[in-house]
């Protein structure tokens, strides 16, 4: 019965079973419901403390997509094609208190991997304005049961206040942050994203771009023929 209660709070956890000796109370059971991504150690030189928000990442060519087929809420991945896949999070009035309790549980525990705290760190980086929430909502990553994107923004921006972050070697999303940083450092990706945003975001913009290219080619051809005819006269 308690496990069913946890599954109602975090939908999509499936029929994951938890050994009785592992969990000591309801909060412990909720924490072990099965939402933890595979743990791995990060390199010493990685700097995971910051990535840009969703709007800036989108402008740099990074796409956001709802992660399908995963029952782990915190199972976030970065793909080689520049896509961040994040499982859907349904936000209700009880979401803030739920996360605060789970973060408090981690802060008081002796766990090396702070899965909930790391997830809050990730979402806090991605969300800095209502527009960032809107991007994630349109991607199917966030289902806003609060009705106001500004409330979701405030929720994630406040959850990490006065919270001790993970040790850099045990940060769960070091691969995601590393992949995002490398993608944004490649100027070609940023240029291509800007080109698509400026010239391929609508049919009329595309037609204008093609017309400008055609005019440039015609001008170039005319110039070549003019030069050739001039030398032929000589």
Structure tokens at 218: 């015609």
Q: Which two tokens stand for residue 152?
A: 């979701």
The phi and psi torsions of 97 (rounded to 5 degrees) equal -65, -35
Q: Which of 46-60, 76-90, 110-124 has the lowest mean pLDDT?
A: 46-60
- Quick one: pLDDT at residue 136? 96
The strand pair at 83-86 and 77-78 is best described as: antiparallel
What pLDDT, on the 0 to 100 scale, is given for residue 48? 59
For the chain, the maximum distance between any two Cα atoms, rounded to a whole number of angstroms, is 97
d(CA 127, CA 108): 26
Check: CB of residue 168 under 8 Å from CB of residue 152: no
Q: For tokens 């709802």, what's the residue?
A: 66
Report whether pLDDT(13) > 60: no
Q: 14 pLDDT exceeds 50?
A: no
- Mean pLDDT over 95-114 rounds to 83
Q: Could you read off the pLDDT of 139-169 as tens digits, one per residue?
A: 999 999 998 999 999 999 999 888 888 877 7
CB-side neighbour CA atoms (13 Å) of 1 = 0
Q: What is the pLDDT confidence band of residue 74, given thresholds at 50, 70 and 90?
A: confident
Mean pLDDT, rounded, for 198-204: 58
Please tell me which residue, 108 or 198, carries the higher pLDDT value.
108
pLDDT at 64 over 80: yes
Asked whether the beta carbons of 133 and 123 are under 8 A apart, the reply is no
Sign of the C-alpha dihedral computed for residues 78, 83, 87 and 90 taken in this order:
positive
Calculate mean pLDDT across residues 202-225.
73
């Amino acid at each position: 019965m308690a496990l069913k209660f946890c599954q109602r709070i975090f939908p999509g956890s499936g029929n994951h079973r938890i050994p009785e000796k592992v969990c000591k109370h309801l909060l412990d059971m909720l924490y072990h419901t099965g939402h933890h991504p595979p743990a791995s150690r990060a390199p010493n030189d990685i700097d995971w403390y910051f990535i840009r928000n969703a709007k800036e990442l989108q402008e740099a060519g990074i796409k956001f997509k709802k992660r399908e087929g995963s029952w782990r809420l915190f199972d976030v991945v970065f793909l080689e094609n520049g896509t961040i896949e994040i499982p859907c999070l349904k936000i209700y009035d009880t979401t803030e208190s739920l996360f605060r309790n789970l973060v408090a549980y981690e802060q008081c525990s002796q766990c090396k991997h702070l899965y909930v705290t790391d997830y809050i760190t990730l979402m806090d980086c991605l969300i800095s304005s209502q527009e960032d929430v809107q991007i994630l909502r349109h991607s199917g990553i966030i289902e806003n049961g609060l009705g106001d994107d500004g409330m979701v923004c405030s929720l994630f921006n406040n959850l990490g206040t006065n919270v001790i972050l993970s040790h850099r070697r045990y940060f769960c999303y070091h691969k995601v942050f590393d992949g995002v940083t490398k993608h944004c450092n490649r100027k070609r990706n940023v240029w291509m994203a800007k080109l698509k945003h400026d010239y391929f975001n609508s049919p009329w913009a595309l037609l204008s771009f093609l017309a400008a290219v055609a005019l440039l080619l015609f001008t170039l051809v005319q110039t070549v023929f003019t030069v050739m005819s001039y030398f032929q006269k000589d």
